[in-house]
Amino acid sequence: MKKGLSVIAIASLLALPMGATAYAEVKEFIGEVVRVNLAKGILDLVKGGRHLRLAVRQGAELLDEGGQPLKGLKDIQVGDYVRQECKVQQKGLCLATKINILKRAWQMEGSPEE
């Protein structure tokens, strides 16, 4: 992942009015990646009709299914099944702290929990 990729985009998405306080609830969500926007550093996840838009910035821990570090967001593909932890920043947008691939899209014949 290029240094600084999406930092400007994320900063503008997460900008708060002067004096405002960020809401920092930590959430965990397991779901399927349905969209990857590399230019903005955004992942869209879905599970059971629930949707989560996830902002991924430099410093987020990205791990493959074996727990090894990924090179960047470009290594996460549509159809991958992931577990992620994020801090809620705005309604409908979370800032990723950790993303762990449970199963790759091409492995999705069985349950991701196996």
Domains and CATH numbers, the chain: 7-107 (2.40.50.140)
- Averaged pLDDT for residues 40-59: 92
CA distance 82 to 66: 12
CA distance 85 to 98: 5
CA distance 106 to 98: 22
pTM over cut 0.85: no
Give the model's pLDDT for residue 14.
42
Q: Is the pLDDT of residue 9 over 50?
A: no
Reported as a pLDDT band with limits 50, 70 and 90, residue 88 is confident
Q: What is the dihedral of CA 85, 30, 14, 1, to 10 degrees?
A: 80
Query: For residue 44, how many other CB atoms are within 10 A of its CB?
Result: 16
